[in-house]
Amino acid sequence: EDQVTQSPEALRLQEGESSSLNCSYTVSGLRGLFWYRQDPGKGPEFLFTLYSAGEEKEKERLKATLTKKESFLHITAPKPEDSATYLCAVQGNTDKLIFGTGTRLQVFP
């Protein structure tokens, strides 16, 4: 059974304090691992897709990496506007996305 576990559930950072969010997964035939950002009262917004172990992608202060068992979302020198819930999802042979429960990030000035 495809499964995604995200940790920590919540993370509080001071502005400029870098950290990482973890996404552990089990999936049959990984077709893609996705990171989304979700702001309160809104739908998830696409950030990255990773396809194979060793792949990395960057966008502003965010960098996503992928191994055969987990993905990390690294946040470098975060700002208050990076506060959001970050969701991880995997797509396997079933073609459907399986989501984790998310990490709620709060960045304080």
Partner 1 sequence: DAGITQSPRHKVTETGTPVTLRCHQTENHRYMYWYRQDPGHGLRLIHYSYGVKDTDKGEVSDGYSVSRSKTEDFLLTLESATSSQTSVYFCAISDLALAQGANYGYTFGSGTRLTVV
Stretch that binds partner 1, among 13-21, 58-66, 69-77, 93-101 (CB under 8 A): 93-101
Nearest by Cα to 89 from 55, 47, 59: 47
**How many residues contact partner 1, by CB under 8 A?**
22
Residue 57 binds partner 1 (CB under 8 A): no
Rounded to whole angstroms, the Cα distance separating 23 from 34 reads 10
Rounded to whole angstroms, the Cα distance separating 44 from 39 reads 7
Residues that bind partner 1 (CB under 8 A): 31-32, 34, 36, 41-46, 49, 51, 87, 89, 91, 95-97, 99-102
